[in-house]
Structure 1
Amino acid sequence: MVTAAGMRGARGALDCDVLVIGGGIVGLSTAYAITRAAPGTRVTVLEKEPGPARHQTGRNSGVIHSGIYYRPGSLKARYAVKGAAEMVKFCAEYDIAHAVTGKLIVATDRAELPRLHALVQRGRENGIPVRELGPAQIAELEPEVRGLAAIHVGTTGVCDFTAVAQQLAEASGAEIRYGAEVTAIDRRADLGVAVRTADGAVVRGRVLVNCAGLHCDEVARLTGDDPGMRIIPFRGEYYELARPELVQGLVYPVPDPAFPFLGVHLTRGIDGGVHIGPNAVPALAREGYDWGTVRPRELGATLSWPGSWRIARRHWRYGAGELRRSVSKSAFTTAVRRLLPAVTEDDLVPAPSGVRAQAVLRDGALVDDFLIREGVRAVHVLNAPSPAATASLPVGREVARRALAALARG
């Protein structure tokens, strides 16, 4: 067992000024922002995987979100609108594959029309160009898609977020240590924070930044801070379309505002393939990318959190539909046909899944916005929801600002 005293005994000179845990796009954006804002600041990033962006960053649909869904004035709305423009510029500067394609949000039922019209207003409040379309105009853009009405959002795009993360790592000038899983943290050390990794190494810094994504609440507790929430993992299940010619661009349903997922949508990626999903179901492990991956300790932590049961009671009807589509390809196909009538079961080829790190409060409330909290010599990113990849550059600057302020306080 590693003790705090043992870690203090291993101390020598500090290895860095800021120690970032997590090599996803938010952690790497933070490292990039720190070295841009304060040249000469020594930054070390610890990532447990053998390379960057192996989880949420590299397992999403690759969409540069416009910000149309988010409450005006929220961090998500501000960061997404600004981040989308910055992400396109970053990709262009570093020759990373990307395209500004626009997207359709399509109402297929009359009951969805008021929500669609509300999105038009929300988009305009957020400064996003929105165009309203009727059935004939939908068919001009997407001949195989059917709907009563739609809106076209011109600033949505797609890119390769894994390549973005790799470029951020390179351009930051930070020391990136891969295969460095954090097992213990000692914040009582005399000069800052000491972190022990699974291979027995000790890394010392003045300030710690927690961008651990699916494990951020656990890392916060290792520092001695109470995060006040628990990460509940939701798996997003995808299919790839065997006939990609059926879809020209990006097509989304009108989302249900009662649940923090956008519904099954159609996404033509930067590689030309079309992904369909995600179907959202509870994961049985924090990195539970299929039903066969079960980690009893992590599952026990989910089940013991009071908020988990309150979510289940509140959203059981919605969740039952998601579970049904998870176990029944026929049910999933039926859901897709609401937007794309020509699709058949044979058109859907299983594709890799992702897992979303959803922060849940004790009372069962799903944390909807970015959640960043500070402790002594520590900054914790405790909820980085979609559109975190899109918004990673402005989010990274905000986390960097807080880390540098903590550094200045000593």
Structure 2
Amino acid sequence: MEKNRNQKHTKETFYYAISRMLERGSYYGLRILIILHMTGIVLKMERTEALSIMGWFTGSIVVSQILGALLGDLIIGNKKAIIFGGIIQAFGAFTLCITSTTGIYIGLFLVVLGSGFYTPNIISNFGKLYLNKTKLLDSGFTIFYLAINLGSFLGMSLIGYFGEEYGYNIGFIISGILMLISIIPILISKDKIEDKKFKNEFPMGKRILNISLAFIVVGLFWGIYQISYIRISDLQFEFSEISSLNIPKHLWQTINSTLILPISIIAIIVWTFFYSTQFFKLMIGFIFGAISYGIIYLIPGVPTEKHTILYIIALLFLGIAEIHIAPIIHSILTKYSNPKYLAILISLAFIPTRLFGFIFGLFNDRFYDNPTLGIKLGIIAMVIISVGLIVYVFWEKKNYLQQRV
């Protein structure tokens, strides 16, 4: 680990982070209300139909992000795509106030389309802020990731509360207003991103290898997380019932997000002043992930109160793993790609995650019947990937030292 010198975050970093926080608040707040709205006393949809619509909704976002990235990179520009997407997404939230199935379909279509324009282009433009200070990329994207977590937590809490207390339409209106406000930091930012003049210093083979490895290992992390979460959520319910820690039951559902907050802040501070490679961070992330799943595996099928602290420690380690993995994928893409096509590459990065999630999801019935099976497979997969990353990191270090000789 080496010390960073003469590099610092700019105010544009925080403009973009605030915009993303507000957008995620709008999006996740809307999501928490939409199924309740569809199955409520007015529309009276069957829950299976509502869940099917939501499945199509979340799946379509991957396609819309590719479309939005293509238009942002090749035709209208990333900044205009962010603003355009934000406006469309806001109109989608407002359209959901039309109490009919037509209003639902049009509203969700507009939210999907708007998110497709907004998401890959804001991630791309954020990364381009660091083209000439790549050692701050990890810290910068962790700020961005922290904003996402804060936004989703606040959105689900506040919009969910107002929607349930004062009517779903109030929740949708708040969601749309938040989305419109999220555009303001982008409008006032004065970033000058000269990606056309930027030339990547790394050879093409190294760039392709590192980007491909990042796609695979990060996709695997979220796939593993999906199959292990069945056991984690079971334990979460058990401990909310038996724990004497005076934690309200509804807060047990947000304990992961709560732990992410201090971990993120520590990582931001450390990575702002000290630099280590992205693949070293991925290695650390998978090692902590393996340890976390190992601790969860030690908790018996029917836990007692004395296992509560063990569970919280496991979640803490899993949070450390997440912070060393989730933001780093975008750092790697920014560092090794051609910035002219960064939004396109970012939109494609969502595909491996969804693909591995779909593949692992085919076996969900087995994991529901035997939740510890997901933890066992998670431990094995995390250990194998950790070993592979250890080998790769030392191989990279050896090549770097040879080049300097």
**TM-score category (smaller protein):** under 0.3
TM-score (norm 1): 0.22
The structure that is strand-richer by fraction is 1
Greater per-residue helix proportion: 2
